[in-house]
A = this chain, B = another copy of it.
Amino acid sequence: MTESAPHSTGARKLPTPVAAAIDRAESLLQGQGLRLTPVRRRTLEILLETPGALGAYDVLARLAADGFGSQPPVAYRALDFLVEHGLVHRLRRINAFTACSHPGEHHHAAFLICRNCKRVEEVHAEHLRATLVSDARRAGFEVERTSLEASGLCPDCREGAIPDGAAT
């Protein structure tokens, strides 16, 4: 668990990307009078440390291992809070959560989910969302939230991958 020294850039205070993201999250929340409590902070860290997405129960297991409560509401509450405030995204196709890549920008994103390695790529989707919102408005429908998700193969998994729908 010891953190390795930052490579040749000269040793500052170990500002890992995760720590930086946590700091940013904390500022964002404080600016709105909200608190990044220990469970919430740890939940966000867990997601930031994970390349792909995690299910609520995966998060819960890690939280419990760190001494937090071990019942589902502990994880769901923290996750819901983080989603609500734009720090985490919920992926409905796979019932999982992933840290937001660009918190605080009030953006709308789409997600590319690799069915092979489970990694998740967040892509900007302002245009995509705008199109959907206006298509909807034409139908008299007022859009409040969107889920824009795709599954398929990430660059690393494209070679030698099993075709969609086929088996061994």
Question: From residue A50, how far is it (CB to closest CB) to chain B in Å?
Answer: 19
> For the complex, what is the distance from the CA of A124 to the CA of B114, rounded to whole Å?
25
B93 touches A143 (CB 8 A): no
A112 touches B143 (CB 8 A): yes
B136 touches A152 (CB 8 A): yes
Interface membership of chain A positions 119-161, coded 1 if the CB is closer than 8 angstroms to chain B and 0 otherwise: 0010101011001110110011111111111111111001000
B148 touches A141 (CB 8 A): no
Give the most central of A133, A136, A150, A153: most B CB within 10 Å: A150
B135 touches A144 (CB 8 A): no
In the assembled complex, A115 has its CB within 8 A of some CB on chain B: yes
Q: Which residues of B contact A131 (CB under 8 A)?
A: 127-128, 131
